[in-house]
Structure 1
Amino acid sequence: MSNLYLEQASEITGPFTRGALKELASQGKISPRDQIREGMSGTGIQAREIPGLLPTLKKSSVPSRPRGRKSRERVHDLDLESSPLLTIEQKEWIVIICGSIFMGSLLLIPLIQALVNLL
């Protein structure tokens, strides 16, 4: 299959072999949204849909830290898969509380306007 073409920003280059495309991808010259097509006028598919073409992201090798640590940690050092910042239940409570505050403030506006009119 040496009849593969690469379409990036409406510009078509090629022909390439699969190995040559994989080499370009490993150099970061192919984005997941770039189109790969067979032949100049063939229907293209996104590069991310071609198995084994794009390099996969490796999991972080940074060990997870115990919670409650007082040192400053940068965001990219956190292992978000093993220690999420908030659980689903905590997020639900935050939404409920923020919604209640918002709705309460909406109810206070007419009361404040009525008080201002009375004065």
Structure 2
Amino acid sequence: LNWFDAKDFCANQSLRMAQPYDAIGLRSYMVQRYSNKEAPNYSETWLGARRKTSSGPFYWNNGNNTIVPLSSPLLYPFGVVNDCLLFLVNVVRWEERPEKPYSGQICEDKNLLYSPLC
């Protein structure tokens, strides 16, 4: 699913896309419980944040205008150029940088195999 389809998926179940309060702890749990090392791209998930401008922070969809700034220590270094927030829960990324659970990703890519975290 792309980010917009993921948002609709959550909304259709009367849910909202996730905003983790302990992103590193949740990531560790999800990697250990659900990650697939043989097919790592299948274990990434969309979170409920996106950028309003190409140079701005990620805004959470919680109605409070809380943000993930581009300087956040939680952002994986390659992901700050894209517009929607991805939760890196594949084992490869976790082993590389366990303290960086977030990455930006292109919102509209129809070829993505990511699922929502509602």
- TM-score, reference length from structure 2: 0.25
Choose between structure 1 and 2: higher helix proportion: 1
Q: Which has the higher contact order (CA 8 A, sep 6+)?
A: 2
Larger Rg computed on CA atoms: 1
- TM-score, reference length from structure 1: 0.25
